[in-house]
Amino acid sequence: MPSNILKERLESKQYEKLLRIDNPDLHEFIAKYIEHCTPEKVFVCTDSVEDIKYIREISIENGEEIKLTAENHTIHFDNYNDQARDKKNTKILLPQGVELDKAINTARRKESLEEIHKIMKDIMKGKELYIRFFCLGPTNSEFSQPVMQMTDSAYVAHSEDLLYRQGFEEFVRQGRNARFFKIVHSAGELDERNTSKNLDKRRVYIDLEKNMVYSANTQYGGNTIGLKKLSMRLAINRGKKEGWLTEHMLVMGVHGPDNRVTYFTGAFPSLCGKTSTSMLDNETVVGDDIAYLRKIDGRVRAVNVEKGVFGIIMGVNSKDDPIIWNALHSSAEIIFSNILMTPEGGVHWIEKDGEIPEKGINYSGEWYKGKKDENGKEITVSHRNARFTISLKNFNNLDPTLHDPKGVEIGGMVYGGRDSDTWVPIKEAFDWAHGIIAYGASLESETTAATLGQEGVRKFNPMSNLDFLSVSLRDYINANLDFAKGLEKEPSIFAVNYFLKDKDGNFLNSREDKKVWYKWAELRANRDVDAIDTPTGRIPKYEDLKKLFKEIINKEFTQEDYNEQFKIRVKENIAKIDRIEKIYRTQIIDAPQILHDILEEQRKRLLSAQEKHGEYIKPSKLAQQGIRF
């Protein structure tokens, strides 16, 4: 009887709280992992004000967070070598006989479960275990997905408080019917800085069969915050079986004429402007990272899975990101991670306004200007992947629909990567399948100085979701294609590129130009303006952009700007098709035939346009001749 274990190991107050949930399976699960991980104490969080306060205070008491001078602000450090998602040791566990594409990191289920149970045996010794209940997506909704998190990190439990909707009462309400995800996390042994020590035993294992994730010997949020990328992998698998999508997408309201709001989703690989797009100051934000999409009454509807932001802080400054800047300077509850704490209890990060302080404490420990790592490389004031954690309610551009159980109707979907020379700044797909294949499934992003390895290498990242796929690419792409079946109205699909460069390597667009692209996309999604057909999709007409540039950012957009930015680069576009085709032919098992067909049609359109107009085609050529491809 598992409740015996719970009765023995839990203080009566905590035990009583668990008993409020009438679900023997859940009790059995908790008992199993208490027996296995042997925490010294167990705390059950019911989401009461008192319980939430306990988690917040214990994070400071146990040293995982440090109080800063500003009210309600704390800072957390991850181990110097635990600053990002561990792709190598994050694996989808597969039963014997099941295979996924090479691009997805997998391992044999039986052996891996043995390994992780060995690693996690007694891993919580001497520590307190926090048990929390959450709901992904709004509560009381078709989208709701309950999750139980067990963690011995108060920092993780606290972060989740800012990022996710409370779910204890939902578990009570659903009782034995709850079909919930389960996450068991342990930071493992900690060093003198309270950071995970045994990084050689860092593991994130996803067990689809049990809807469960194990995470051990790590603290970095992307590896540990169970409701974020860990549950996302479980949700992709569940959605595939049930006909809904889990996407690595922002959700935003783009404000059009006459108070019209058209909602967009957007998928961008890391460091491609996703958070800053979701925070455009003319628009309203629903979510910045993960969306669930469902077909409801013939329309695509989406919700933000989360209610907070775990955002990259590098580059945030008062001029370019006024909304984030203001929120970070308010008395909202914020957890900073891996930036610099000054001796006065202030903070600094890469490209923050003002001077870089002389010294402080950062992700490398005691830090001073000019400090070098063991290879003689200068250690930056903050880590490039350093983050802030905050609830969305603190942003003044928050869209009122965040918690709407029905979600929002999606009028447009955007895919964008870092691309110096191929895609135009914005274009619209001819139809759903063209958008999914030629834009989403063909998404690549160039590496930057902020990522490891060589700069400027294009990384294939379909739908920016490659790291999180728990189903084959074939199934995932088919699920995206099939999603349009039975829709009364398909959202328009767009591709954007904020990173186009001229031949001297200078960016062709400023950061604020993107405000214009979204206003144009909003008009297009509602068919308020015409567009020009090119071989790779529909592009804006010069007159429309000129007007929008003036109206929105008070900028003169010249015919030369337009010609340079929107010319069709035939050679580069064909080279891209070659690269993508090759990946789908050689690395992906049985990619859908329609993918090859759509790319082949695009190649033909490009070649025939090239015959008439050359390798670089000015849009005016296409417009004047009224060419319809």
Cite the active site residues: 272
Find which of Mn ion, ligand SPV, none residue 292 binds, CB within 5 to 8 Å per kind: none
Smallest separation, CB 225 to ligand SPV (Å)? 7
Find which of Mn ion, ligand SPV, none residue 228 binds, CB within 5 to 8 Å per kind: ligand SPV
Binding ligand SPV (rule: CB under 6 A), the pick from 79, 270, 278, 451 is 270
Nearer to Mn ion, 160 or 289 (CB): 289
Q: Is 228 in the site for ligand SPV (CB under 6 A)?
A: yes
Smallest separation, CB 392 to Mn ion (Å)? 15
Nearer to ligand SPV, 349 or 432 (CB): 349
Smallest separation, CB 222 to ligand SPV (Å)? 2
Contact 196, 224 (CB under 8 A): no
Find which of Mn ion, ligand SPV, none residue 306 binds, CB within 5 to 8 Å per kind: none
Distance (Å, whole) CA 432 – CA 440: 10
Nearer to ligand SPV, 225 or 531 (CB): 225
Smallest separation, CB 446 to ligand SPV (Å)? 16
Amino acid making up residue 164: Y
Number of residues that bind Mn ion (CB under 5 A): 1
Q: Which of 58, 44, 59, 55 is nearest to 168 (CA)?
A: 44
Stretch that binds Mn ion, among 283-291, 323-331, 421-429, 617-625 (CB under 5 A): 283-291
Nearer to ligand SPV, 411 or 417 (CB): 417
Contact 218, 224 (CB under 8 A): yes
Binding mask 284-303 for Mn ion (x = CB under 5 A): -----x--------------
Residue number of the CB closest to ligand SPV reads 222
Residue with tokens 């200007």: 369
Smallest separation, CB 506 to ligand SPV (Å)? 28
Q: Which of 158, 210, 208, 145 is nearest to 187 (CA)?
A: 158
Smallest separation, CB 311 to ligand SPV (Å)? 8
Smallest separation, CB 310 to ligand SPV (Å)? 6
Binding mask 498-517 for ligand SPV (x = CB under 6 A): --------------------
Find which of ligand SPV, Mn ion, none residue 221 binds, CB within 5 to 8 Å per kind: ligand SPV
Smallest separation, CB 462 to Mn ion (Å)? 15
Contacts of residue 582, Cβ cutoff 8 Å, sequence gap at least 6: none
Collapsing DSSP states into helix, strand and coil, what is residue 223?
Answer: helix
Q: Is 229 in the site for ligand SPV (CB under 6 A)?
A: yes
Element of type H or E holding 41: strand 41-44
Residues β-bridged to residue 204: 90, 215
Q: Which of 622, 609, 607 is nearest to 575 (CA)?
A: 607
Find which of ligand SPV, Mn ion, none residue 310 binds, CB within 5 to 8 Å per kind: ligand SPV
Contact 200, 181 (CB under 8 A): no
Find which of ligand SPV, Mn ion, none residue 519 binds, CB within 5 to 8 Å per kind: none
In 548-608, beta strands by DSSP E: 568-569
Within 292-321, the residues that bind ligand SPV by CB under 6 A are 310
Distance (Å, whole) CA 119 – CA 89: 13
Q: Is 78 in the site for ligand SPV (CB under 6 A)?
A: no
Contact 270, 250 (CB under 8 A): no
Distance (Å, whole) CA 284 – CA 356: 32
Find which of Mn ion, ligand SPV, none residue 515 binds, CB within 5 to 8 Å per kind: none
Other CB atoms closer than 10 Å to residue 524's CB: what's the count? Answer: 22
Smallest separation, CB 305 to ligand SPV (Å)? 12
Nearer to Mn ion, 127 or 387 (CB): 387
Find which of Mn ion, ligand SPV, none residue 85 binds, CB within 5 to 8 Å per kind: ligand SPV
Distance (Å, whole) CA 113 – CA 205: 8
Q: Is 185 in the site for ligand SPV (CB under 6 A)?
A: no
Distance (Å, whole) CA 66 – CA 43: 21
DSSP letter at 298? T
Q: What spatial distance separates the first Cα and last Cα of the chain, rounded to whole Å? A: 69
Binding mask 410-449 for Mn ion (x = CB under 5 A): ----------------------------------------
Distance (Å, whole) CA 597 – CA 586: 16
Find which of Mn ion, ligand SPV, none residue 222 binds, CB within 5 to 8 Å per kind: ligand SPV
Sheet of 308-312, strand order: 66-67, 73-76, 334-337, 387-391, 308-312
Stretch that binds Mn ion, among 191-199, 230-238, 281-289, 321-329 (CB under 5 A): 281-289
CB half-sphere exposure, 515, CA atoms < 13 A = 19
Within 205-224, the residues that bind ligand SPV by CB under 6 A are 221-222
Number of residues that bind ligand SPV (CB under 6 A): 8
Q: Is 289 in the site for ligand SPV (CB under 6 A)?
A: yes
Smallest separation, CB 367 to ligand SPV (Å)? 23
Q: Which of 451, 389, 385 is nearest to 418 (CA)?
A: 451
Binding ligand SPV (rule: CB under 6 A), the pick from 9, 27, 56, 85 is 85
Distance (Å, whole) CA 380 – CA 364: 9
Q: Is 9 in the site for ligand SPV (CB under 6 A)?
A: no
Contact 91, 216 (CB under 8 A): no
Nearer to ligand SPV, 42 or 466 (CB): 466
Nearer to ligand SPV, 65 or 289 (CB): 289
Q: Is 417 in the site for ligand SPV (CB under 6 A)?
A: no
Element of type H or E holding 413: strand 408-416
Find which of Mn ion, ligand SPV, none residue 39 binds, CB within 5 to 8 Å per kind: none
Contacts of residue 382, Cβ cutoff 8 Å, sequence gap at least 6: 313, 314, 338, 339, 340, 348, 349, 350, 362, 363
Distance (Å, whole) CA 352 – CA 356: 8
Contact 303, 138 (CB under 8 A): yes
List of residues contacting Mn ion (CB under 5 A): 289
List of residues contacting ligand SPV (CB under 6 A): 85, 221-222, 228-229, 270, 289, 310
